[in-house]
Structures are given as C-alpha cells and as structure tokens.
Amino acid sequence: MIRGVTVVPVTGPEAVIRDGAVAVADGEIVYVGPADGLPDGFTADRVLGGPGMVALPGLVNAHTHAAMTLFRSYADDLPLMKWLEEAIWPLEQKLIAEDVYWGTLLACAEMLLGGTTTFADMYFFMDRVAAAVEKSGIRASLSRGLIGIAPNAEKALKESRAFVREWHGRANGRITCMLGPHAPYTCPPDYLRKVVAMAAELGVGIHIHVAETRQEVEGIKKQYGCSPVALLAETGLLDLPVLAAHCVHLSPEDIAILAAKGAAVAHNPESNMKLASGIAPVTELLTAGVTVGLGTDGAASNNNLDMLEEMRSAALLQKVAREDPEALPAYAALEMATIGGARALGLGDKIGTLQPGKRADIILLNLRRPHLYPPHDVVAHIVYAAQAGDVDTVIVDGNVVVEGGRLLTLDLDTVLDNARHCALRLVGKPKARSLL
Ligand SMILES: CSC[C@H]1O[C@@H](n2cnc3c(O)ncnc32)[C@H](O)[C@@H]1O
Ligand SMILES: [Zn+2]
C-alpha cells in the first residue's frame, strides 16, 4: 500500500487526490482514493509513501532501441541517413548478443531510475533483450527489427515468429511482442505484406518507423507514387494494430488515414530535434483522434532515455512550432507519456493510469526539493520542473524495483563495467574526446 501521498491517477486533468492511497494485491491495483476511504480493517504487509511524495502511473517509453545506449555520444550532430549509414549501421554490423544484453540492461537501469516502467523496443538479438527485461523487472513490448532489403530478411522473419512464440506473455505478462519492420524505405511492399500476414497469424501488432524525414517522404513518393502512410495502407499494414514511430512529415490525408485505421503514433521530440528531422504535427494528430505516445528513440540520437525530460520537450516544441503557449498543455503531455503510450502498445487496459483492475506500475516522485517548491500545480511540476533524480520509488507489476532512488534488481557497477567493455570492443580505437 502507498499512503500519505498525493495521487495523480491520470484519469482526467483535474483528478488529483491529496492525502491519497493506492492499495495493491497480487500485483494489481485494488484501491485508489482518499486514505481515509480505505475499507475498514484494511491492512497492508508493506506501506510506502510519505509527505511530499506524489504517486502517478509509471511512464511508458513508446519507442526506443534500448541497446543503443552503447552508442550514446558516439555519433552526433548528423542528419538521420548520414548518421545511420556512416556511423550506426557499420557499428551494428559488429554487434554480438552479449553487447545487446548489457546495452539493454544499461537502458533498463536508466529508464527505471527515471520512472519509466514500460518501453517499446525494436532491435536485434531480441532473446537477449527479453532476458534483460526479465532480469531488470521492467515491462516491455519487444520487436525483432526487420530490414527487408538485407540478405537475411527471410531468416529474420522466421526468427521473429520464433521470438513471438517463445516470449509473448512471458515474465508474468511483462513481456509482449510485436513484429518490427524497420521502415518503408528498408522494407519493400512485398516484404511488408509478408510481415502483415505473419502478424495476423500470430495475433500481434506492428512497430515501424514512418515518415521520419522529408527525404523519406520524397523518396517513397518517387518510388511508389504515394506517401509512406498511404503505402502502408495499401499493403494492409494499417489494418492491424500499429505503433508508428515518428510520423513527422504527414499530410492532412495521412492524418485522416491514421485516424480512420486506428494506428497509434510514437512521438520522439528530442530525437527529431537532434537529427533535425522536423516537428511532428502532434496537435493535429490528437485533434484527429489519433492515439499518441511519447518515446525517446535510442540513446544514440537523444542522448538519454529520460521520459520526464521528453514530456517537457514535447510540450515546449509544440508551443514554439505553433507560436501558441496553449498548444500541448502539461496534462496532455503527461497523458502521452502514460495512458497514450500504454494504448499505443496495446496495453491500455492493463497499465497507463492508476485505477483498480490495472497492474500496479506506479512511481513516486519526491516533491520536497528546491526546484519543485512551492507546489502550485502538481501536473505542471511533473511535466515542466521534475527531473529523473526526483524519482524515489518505482513499482512494476506490484514489485518494488527502485526504492529511495536505488535500483534493487541490478548491480549498477556490473552493468556499467560490462557496457563500457562492450562499447570499447565495438568502437575499436576510441576517439580523441572518449573517456572509455
Ligand atoms: C531494425 S532494428 C532498428 C534499427 O533502427 C535504427 N534506428 C535507430 N534510430 C532510428 C531512427 O530515428 N530512424 C530510423 N532508424 C533508426 C537502429 O540503428 C537499428 O538499425
Ligand atoms: Zn527509432
């Protein structure tokens, strides 16, 4: 049980419970409300919380490549395709399973300590990603990345099927799976149709990068005579549950297609800013009724996995793009980072708000800090002023994984040392400013 806290359940802009309580049994939320409204005789094995603490749903990172923590600050200040083709893809050729394991554990540590309880991942060696998720205690939606133009494209599809069969629903349901075709420019329509058939057969969704850069949209138009979104619709991909990462360059027709098909978007404002890809039309997407979650993208293009920071960036970016301070208000950003992301991952019934019946993915922020005083508006504080270091407690599926700002599931030094060794082996000769 959590008590003596302010509860922000993310069930409505004004829903704030002072002196609130959240009770959990068998990993499920069984009560959310005023502390004095708990049923008579209610007892708890363990009580968390206290003055200055705020309880809210765990944050959902709706798009990342966790193991890319190994490439953090390796290649910066480049546009997407130069960054991928000249820096990242050559390095990814050298990845081995253990790199992905340690890189993912490093990401899980960073995310949990920053209040993220769920992430959507697309990468390679996904068995090792799943093992890292299982060990760290985080929740994740995992997709084996598929590059349709690569020599191993067919083998990768078969591996995806085996991965989904082995891992979907594992770790007490903390792990779910999707198929992960990388993007329309690396997966031709015939390959996408095979992915669609396999996703339908397995009953899972599809996680894909879409319309990230102007160059992508122009390239797809030249090759296929339509936009990336229209191309996906033509292959049947949008008839399944879809998590479309980026969606920066969309026409009004594209937005209407996404809304009509019920596709969800993962917005990645910091990665989009850093790679200078552009500004996603988040306000228009939300107005059209599209589900929008928030993601960091990989740590190589962000360069962190901090969802509190990402919320602030998302809100500020819409305001500056539209020259409208009312664009993407604090509560809308908080929704995107919680229930929006949960819905985008197909987990809207399970996580994303604090409500009875949902799994207990809960974080406690400590507001008794100089930069959070005085607490005029708890939602504005969470979005505009809080930092990862304010995360005191993190609970995933009813298990306490961070307490007093300390990670309980992993030995941090071991993770840092192994990640450093992997990074060193991958880059070979460190660059001049490297501290490896
Ligand atoms: C096929 S596994 C995932 C693949 O995606 C690459 N990647 C990382 N960030 C981005 C991005 O912003 N747009 C497109 N692709 C990206 C990653 O390096 C892997 O190769
Ligand atoms: Zn990405």
pLDDT tens-digit profile of 37-59?
998 888 999 999 999 999 999 99
In the predicted model, what is the mean pLDDT of residues 122-131?
A: 98
In the predicted model, what is the mean pLDDT of residues 307-325? 98
Nearest ligand, measured from the Cα of 301: 1
User: What is the separation, in whole angstroms, between the first and last Cα of the chain?
Assistant: 43
Pick the ligand that lies closest to the CA of residue 245. Answer: 2
Q: Please, what are the domains in the chain?
A: 2-57+353-404 (2.30.40.10), 59-344 (3.20.20.140)
**Does residue 122 have its Cβ closer than 6 Å to ligand 1?**
yes
ipTM of this complex: 0.99
pLDDT at 430: 86
Ligand 1 binding pocket mutation candidate from 71, 159, 209 (most atoms within 8 A of CB) = 209
Taking residues 153-172, what's their average pLDDT? 98
Residue 15 has pLDDT above 90, yes or no: yes
Probe ligand 1: pick from 76, 84, 104, 275, max atoms within 8 Å of CB? Answer: 84
User: Residues 179-189: what's their mean pLDDT?
Assistant: 98
Dist. CA 368 → ligand 1 center (Å): 39
- DSSP percent split of the chain into helix, strand, coil, nearest 5: 45, 20, 35
- What Cα–Cα distance (Å) separates residue 134 from each residue in 166, 334, 351, 403? 13, 27, 18, 19
* 308: nearest Cα among 272, 342, 337, 277: 337
The per-residue pLDDT for 40 is 86
Quick one: pLDDT band at residue 128, thresholds 50, 70, 90?
very high
Q: Distance, CA 352 to ligand 2 centroid (Å)? A: 22
**Mean pLDDT of the chain, nearest integer:** 98
Q: How far is the CA of 43 from the centre of ligand 1 (A)?
A: 48
Angle value at C-alpha 11, between 353 and 29, nearest 5 degrees = 40
Tokens of 90: 């050559």
CA distance 355 to 18: 16
**Cβ of 145 below 6 Å from ligand 1:** yes
Q: What is the pLDDT of residue 185?
A: 98
**Residue where the block lists tokens 């020259």:** 323
What are φ and ψ of residue 357, in 5° steps?
Answer: 100, -20
Q: Which ligand is nearest to the CA of 276?
A: 1
Specify the pTM. 0.98
- Asked whether 248 lines ligand 1 (CB < 6 A), one says no
Q: Is the pLDDT of residue 82 over 90?
A: yes
Neighbouring C-beta atoms of residue 41, cutoff 10 Å: 5
Between CA 113 and CA 107 the distance in angstroms is 10
What is the band of 429 on the pLDDT scale with cuts at 50, 70, 90?
confident
pLDDT at position 42 = 85
Q: What letter would DSSP give residue 338?
A: I
* Residue 74 in contact with ligand 1 by CB distance below 6 A: no
Ligand 2 centroid distance, CA of 335 (Å): 21
What confidence score (pLDDT) does residue 431 get?
A: 87
- DSSP 3-state assignment of 28? strand
Q: Which residue has a Cα nearest atom 16 of ligand 1?
A: 84
Give residue 252 CA to ligand 2 midpoint distance, Å: 23
Is the pLDDT at 233 greater than 90, yes or no? Answer: yes
Write out pLDDT tens, residues 333-360: 999 999 999 999 999 999 999 999 999 9
Ligand 1 atom at minimal distance to the Cα of residue 180:
1
Residue 298 near ligand 1, beta carbon < 6 Å? yes
- Phi then psi dihedrals of residue 71, to 5 deg: -105, 15
Point out which residues pair with 124 in neighbouring strands.
none
Any atom of ligand 1 within 6 Å of the Cβ of 271? yes
Strand residues in 172-284 grouped as ranges (E): 175-181, 205-210, 242-246, 264-267
* Distance from Cα 191 to the centre of ligand 1, integer Å: 18
pLDDT of residue 410: 98
Query: Of the ligands numbered here, which is closest to the C-alpha atom of 153?
Result: 1
Q: Is the pLDDT of residue 362 over 90?
A: yes
